[in-house]
Amino acid sequence: MLTKEEVIEILKSMEDPHLHKSIEETGGIREVKVDDTFVSLKIALGKTQTAEQMKLQQEIVQKVKQNGAESVGLRFEQLTDEELAALGGIPEEQGPSLLAEGSKTQFISVASGKGGVGKSTVSVNLALGLQRIGKKVGILDADIYGFSIPDMMGIENRPTVVDKRIQPVDRFGVKVISMGFFVEDNSPVIWRGPMLGKMLNQFFSEVDWGDLDYLILDLPPGTGDIAMDIQSMVPSGNELIVTTPHPTAAFVAARAGAMAIKTEHKLLGVIENMSYFKSDKTGEIAHIFGEGGGEKLSENLGTELLGQIPLNQPEEKDDVFAPGCYFEDESIGQLYTDVAKNVDAKLQ
């Protein structure tokens, strides 16, 4: 059985990611309790509710479990002002933010009125389409409670930290950051809105995105706090609205489009997903979810219907696991390339 002393010894090797000192040196090991195979910890850091905290949480939980714990409870608090002053304060962060004045990166938010319409699928495949036409692209999975981008792209590794900057994961030439990288074992995210807003800001400012042409923002469905936080953070954004052909889906999606207009973001157009199903055997087309939703929505919003994507499943490939990705050799992949060309032309 793991002892308290052994847990403390493990923690001594952990570093406060903001102060760049061991959490033993900062006095950050606040509480260690061991009850059979359950370990309860309280750790104090220079900053809390950051991407670095989530990465440290993952490292601590993994290390403690590797040494015999079955379950780990971990709470964080912030070091006091007096403690921070005694430690010399938090060094200034290095590197530019995508939100800084003069940034040449263009932001494309992908939004929907409701879940289940394939918004994340569109985000992933629009990014791949833009990459195929030679653009430097990143995806920020901002659907904090329903993150799915890493799984859809078949990403198994995690971001690293180099020179105090978080390095996004590169997959198929697209740089990716998601809350899914910073939680353990697909755990639910139970942070409240203001904490999540702060976390999202860290994703813009403390990730080394490099020189991007486009950053795709996969927004949560609807018009809630997180979607509004993103709208307010991005200085001049562009938005795509995703719907299905069903009239109800299009009706609800209109709210997301209205919010983009109110926040003075440019509406690029509408993507109608699951437009129809085409049988591989007979070639027959069936409009499973009805017809006309995308056209009606684009008319109501005064914008363009940029694409109608059929209902299908990406082809399984022996050498690549990416269950949500359509590639260049697939007909739907070609449709997404066409959408990417159209979007790029609008933003030039």
- 62-71, 156-165, 239-248 — which is least confidently predicted? 156-165
Q: Measured between alpha carbons, how far is residue 65 from residues 39, 236, 326 in Å?
A: 9, 44, 37
The single residue listed with the structure tokens 């795709």 is: 216
pLDDT of residue 342: 95
Do residues 181 and 250 both lie within one domain?
yes
Q: Check whether 188 has a pLDDT greater than 60.
A: no
Tokens of 77: 């608090």
Do residues 71 and 156 both lie within one domain?
no
pLDDT of residue 220: 81
99's CB contacts (< 8 A; 6+ apart) are: 204, 205, 233, 234, 235
pLDDT, tens only, 211-241: 999 999 998 876 555 666 666 677 678 999 9
Whether 116 is in a domain gets the answer yes
pLDDT of residue 95: 56
pLDDT, tens only, 276-320: 998 888 989 999 999 998 999 999 889 999 999 999 989 888 889
pLDDT of residue 120: 94
Whether 263 is in a domain gets the answer yes
DSSP-derived 3-state class of residue 142: coil
Specify whether the CB–CB gap between 108 and 217 falls below 8 A. yes
Whether 320 is in a domain gets the answer yes
DSSP-derived 3-state class of residue 214: strand
Q: In the listed set 32, 57, 86, which residue is the last one of a domain according to the structure?
A: 86
pLDDT of residue 125: 97
Smallest CA-to-CA distance from 150 within 343, 304, 339, 323 is with 323
Question: What gap in Å lies between CA 241 and CA 299, rounded to an integer?
Answer: 13
Specify whether the CB–CB gap between 2 and 39 falls below 8 A. yes
Question: What gap in Å lies between CA 226 and CA 108, rounded to an integer?
Answer: 16
pLDDT, tens only, 22-46: 999 999 999 999 988 899 999 999 9
Q: Looking at residue 170, which CATH number applies to its domain?
A: 3.40.50.300
Which secondary structure element, helix H or strand E, spans residue 175, and what is its range?
A: strand 174-178
pLDDT of residue 204: 82
Whether this model's pTM surpasses 0.85: no
Tokens of 119: 């918004």
Tokens of 319: 């050498």
pLDDT of residue 146: 76
Of 97 and 338, which is predicted with more confidence? 338
Binning pLDDT at 50, 70 and 90, where does residue 92 land? low
Whether 99 is in a domain gets the answer no
Whether 93 is in a domain gets the answer no
The count of domains in the chain is 2
Whether 94 is in a domain gets the answer no
Q: What percent of the chain has pLDDT over 90?
A: 45
